[in-house]
Amino acid sequence: MYYGAGGHDEAAVPGDEYRETWRKMVVDSRVAVQVAVLDDDIVGVITLDANGLFPTIAPHETRVRLVGIFVEPGRWSSGVAAP
């Protein structure tokens, strides 16, 4: 299961475009990430936006907020919404 910002469900099986989007976030120096790696593949990504890269309904928000979580099928998953 895949969850994005706000806890909405994404596709149960990721496509290449979906996976590439997460890989780009991992290497973006403006976004803090925690990454789980198994062998040569990324199996989990948690992204934190501390710089306001992702617009919200509170444009002056300064808290670090969870942007999204990504896990491979068969791995653990949890839906978490942005505060």
What are the φ/ψ torsions at residue 63 (nearest 5 degrees)? -70, 150
Name the residue ranges covered by the structural domains of the chain. 5-71
Per-residue pLDDT of 4-60, as tens digits, reads 444 445 544 556 776 676 667 667 666 665 555 556 655 555 666 556 665 555 555
Q: In this structure, what token pair is assigned to residue 52?
A: 């306001």
Query: Are 48 and 32 contacting, i.e. CB atoms less than 8 angstroms apart?
Result: yes
Per-residue pLDDT of 62-81, as tens digits, reads 545 555 555 555 544 444 44
* Residue owning tokens 């299961």: 1
| Of residues 43, 49, 10, the one with CA closest to residue 28 | 49
* pTM for the model: 0.33
